[in-house]
Structure 1
Amino acid sequence: MASYLRGQGLSFDSDTPPRQFAAGFGNFNYLIRVDGQWAVLRRPPPGPIPPGANDMARESLILSRLPKAYPLAPRTLHYCEDSHVLGARFFIMEYRAGLSIGGQLPEAVQQSWHGEAPVGEYLGTLLIRLLADLHAIPPEQVGLDSLGKPDGFIRRTLDGWTQRARLAWENDLPMELVQVIEWLEQRIPADQRHCFIHNDFKLDNVLLRETDLSPVAVIDWDMGTRGAPLYDLAVLLSYWTERGDPPCMHALGQMPTAGNGFPSREQAAAHYQSLTGVSLTSLHFFRVLALLRSAVVFQQIHRRRSRDEKESGTIPDFEQLARELSSFTLEVTRGRYY
C-alpha cells in the first residue's frame, strides 16, 4: 500500500496501523493516515459480489462530484483501479468524525438530548429532510447526469431483485415471495420523474455530531444512481420499524424507530411529500419492492456467511429472518401494514 500510494504522489503512514470500522455487513472500511491526515479506505468484502453491489468505481465517482452540491457527502481522495494492490479495487475518502446510530438509541444520547421535540421526532424529521435535499439536486448540476439509466428503472429494478432472489434461494423461493413477485408484476407503475438517489439511505448512514446530533456526513454511496425518488423513500421506510410490527421487523435492528418519539412510516412519508411535492400514489408498490429487496439481502448475507464455518456459529439466523420478511412483505401487499 505504501509503495503504491508513493507512486501516486501520496504518503501512507505505515507506522499507524489501519483500524477497521466494526459496523455493517457489506464493504470493509479502515481508518488510515494519508499525507498526515486521517482518511478512510473503503473496499469490497472478499468472495463473490452480488451484481451491482460494492461498486467502488461508482462510489468514488459519485464522491468526486456530489459534494459540490451536497456537502454532507465526503470527498474522494484517490481511487485505485488495480485489484492487485489489495486484492480488490478500493478508494480513499476524507474522514468525518461522527456518531452512527443503529438499531438502538444510545443511552448517552437519550440523557443528553435537550431539544424541544423528542429525540426520535428530531431524527426522523432530519432523515426525511436530508433525503428530500438530495432529491432536489439536478444530476447534471454535479456531472452525474450520465450515471445509471433512469428510463425503465422500475422494471429493471424489479427484474434485478427477482433474479437475485432466485439466485439467493437457488430457485427454491419461499411461496410468500413468489406471491409478492406476482403482485409486483401486475402493478408496475409508469416511469416517473427521476433524480439522483442514494439507494440505501438510513439512519446509520448519517453521521451525527455528538454534541447536538447535527449531521456531519452521509456515507455508503456505492449503489447511488439516477432513479425513482419514491424508491429511495421506500428503501428508508423498509428499515423503519414500528411498535406494532411483527418480530422480524424488530429483529432487523436497523433503526430505533419503534419508540423514542419517532414518527410513523405514514407520517414520515407525508413529511417527504410536503417537502418535495412528489405524489405518493405509487408508494405502496415501492414499499413492497423495497421489502422484497430486504428479504433478498438477508438471504444473500446468510449464503455468504454460511460459507465461512468460523462465522456460521456466531451470526444471527439470517435465513429465518429472510423468510419472515418475505411473509411480512406479503402482508404489506394486502394493506395490513403501511
Structure 2
Amino acid sequence: MSRPDTAPVRPGEELPLDKLRAALTGRLAGDLTALSTEQFPGGFSNLTYLLRAGDQEYVLRRAPLGPVAKGAHDMAREYHLLERIHPVFPAAPRPEVLIEDPEVLGSPFYLMERRRGEVVRTALPAAYSANAAAPRQLSEAMVDTLAALHAVDIDAAGLRAIGRPEGFNGRQVEGWAGRWRRARALLQGSGDLPSADELHDDDVIAWLEAHTPAESAHTLVHNDFKLDNLMMDPADPSKVVALLDWEMTTVGDPLVDLGLTLTYWTMPVQPGGSRIGAAGAPEGYLTREAFIGRYARQRGQELRPQDVVWYEVLGHFKLAVIVLQIFARYRAGQTSDARFAPLAAQAEWLIREAWRRVAGQP
C-alpha cells in the first residue's frame, strides 16, 4: 500500500485475543502465538479488522456491537455467500474460517483472505496523482465490475436459491418502508427529523409503491455497490483488486444495484465523508449519464437515464433507512461512535433528494 489502510482498534471495540487464539488454533495458517489486530476505520455497519498471525494476514468481520435487527449482520450467510461467489467472480475475496460460537467474540464472525490495494474515498491516492486519466479509469472500472457481477450465470453457479427474485422489487419497497417507519418511531419526539408532512417520506413511499416496475432481469445484486467498496490496483486505477462488503448480497433486479450505486455516485458528501463521484469529485469522473450509458453497453441493453429514476429514488430511500437505523442505535446509547451523530441529517437529505426526484417526474 502507498498509505496505511488500518488504524489502532477503536476503544470499546477491542478483540479478546486469548479467546480468538483458542478458537482459531488448528484452523488457520500462521503463528497464532504472535496474534495481533488493527482495525479498518471505514464503514458504518459490520466491524472489520486486520488480523496478523506471524507472517500471515487475514481480514476478520463481525457484527456491530449492541443490539442489531433480526436477520441483519448475518456473518454465517456472508461467509457461505463468498464460498459460492468467489469461484465464479474472482473480485470476491476467498473466505477462510467461520466461527459461529458467540462465546468467542460475542457474535459469530469469519475470516477471509487479505487483499492489498487502494480504497478511494475522499481524494485520489498519491499513487494516482501523476495519472490524469485516473478518474476516468476508476469510473470505467467501477461500471465494468458492476456489469460483470450482473453477468454471472446464477443458475450455472447454483446461486439463484440465495434469494427470491420473483417479486423482488415489490418486496424491496415493502421491507425498506417498514424499516424506515420503525426507525422513525424510535426517534418520535426527539426533534431529529422533521414531520412527515414536511419531509414527504410517506409520499416517497407511496410513489415507490405506485410505480414499482417488474424486474428487468434476475441477477446477483450486491446491494451496497459503491466506489469505496472497491479495492483498486495501486499501480493501475483501471484494475479492480477486490469487491468488498457482501453482507446484503441476494438475487434480484440488477437495476436496484445500479440505482443505489448512482445514489452514492451523485451525492455531494456520502455517509462517512466520502466525496468521490460525479457530484463530489474533481473533473474526469463519469457523469451520471455516461455511467448509465457505459453500463447499458456492457450489459447489451437499451437503457435511458429516465429508465432508472425509480431505482435511484429507491436507492436514496434505502440509504436513508440504513443511516437512520444506525443513528437510532446511536441515539439510544447502543453505540458511542461519534461518527454516527450527523446521520439523522444525512437521512433527511436523502429523503428530500428522493422527493425532489419524485416531484420532477411527469
Same fold by TM (over 0.5)?
A: yes
Work out whether residues 174 and 323 of structure 1, in 8 Å CA contact, stay in contact via their aligned partners in 2.
Answer: no
Unaligned runs of 5+ in 1: 243-248
Contact residue 234 and residue 286 of structure 1 kept, 8 A: yes
Q: Does 1:136 align with 2:154?
A: no
Change (3 A) 1:279 1:84: farther
Conserved 8 A contact 2:95-2:113:
yes
Query: Could you say which residue in structure 2 is the equivalent of 1:31?
Result: 50
Question: Which residue of structure 2 aligns with residue 246 of structure 1?
Answer: none
Amino acid at match of 1:134: L
Partner residue of 1:164 out of 173, 179, 198: 179
Q: What is the match of residue 122 of structure 1?
A: 137
Q: Distance in 2 between matches of 1:328 and 1:41?
A: 35
Q: CA deviation at 1:87?
A: 0.7
Residue in 2 that maps onto 1:40: 59
What is aligned with 1:205?
229
Q: How much does 1:11 deviate?
A: 5.5
> 1:106: Cα distance to partner?
3.3
Task: Give the 3-state SS of the residue equivalent to 1:30 in structure 2.
Answer: strand
Structure 2: stretches of 5+ with no match in the other structure: 1-19, 189-194
SS in 1 for 2:266: coil
Asked whether the 8 Å contact 1:177–1:326 carries over to 2, the reply is yes
Q: Does the CA contact (< 8 Å) of 1:306 and 1:312 recur in 2? A: no
Hey, what does 2:218 align to over in structure 1?
A: 194
2:129 partner SS: helix
- Cα gap change, 1:186/1:65 in structure 2, threshold over 3 Å: closer, same or farther? same
| Aligned partner of residue 60 in structure 1, secondary structure | helix
Displacement after TM superposition at 1:262 (Å): 1.0
Pair 1:251–1:220, CA change in 2 (3 A)? closer
* Structure 1 residue 290 displacement after superposition: 0.9
Q: 1:302 to 1:8 in 2, by over 3 A?
A: same
Q: Is the Cα–Cα contact under 8 Å of residues 123 and 276 in structure 2 kept in the other structure?
A: yes
The answer for the alignment partner of 1:106 in structure 2 is: 124
- Alignment check: 8 A CA contact 1:75 1:93 kept: yes
Assess if the C-alpha contact under 8 Å between 1:52 and 1:223 holds in 2.
no
Q: Is the 8 A contact 1:203 1:255 kept in 2?
A: no
Structure 1 322/335 Cα, relative in aligned 2: closer, same or farther at 3 Å? same
1:154 maps to 169
Of 194, 200, 207, the residue aligned with 1:183 is 207
- Give the alignment's Cα RMSD to 1 decimal: 2.3
Aligned to 2:192: none
Aligned twin of 1:272: 295
Q: For residues 129 and 105 of structure 1, what CA distance do their matches in structure 2 show?
A: 21
Structure 1 residues 335 and 264 mapped into 2: Cα distance closer, same or farther (>3 Å)? farther
Provide the residue aligned with 2:241 in structure 1.
216
Distance 2:263 2:75 in 1: 25
Give, in whole Å, the separation in 1 of the partners of 2:70 and 2:208.
21
1:260 shift after superposition: 3.2
The corresponding residue for 1:96 is 115
2: CA distance, partners of 1:60 / 1:167: 28
In structure 2, the partner of 1:256 is: 276
Distance in 1 between the 2:270 and 2:58 partners? 33
Q: For the structure 1 residues 138 and 107, does the alpha-carbon distance in structure 2 shift closer, same or farther, using more than 3 Å as the test?
A: closer
Q: Distance in 2 between matches of 1:57 and 1:334?
A: 41
Distance in 2, matches of 1:14 and 1:195, equals 43
Contact 1:73/1:219 (<8 A) preserved = yes
SS where residue 289 of structure 1 aligns? helix
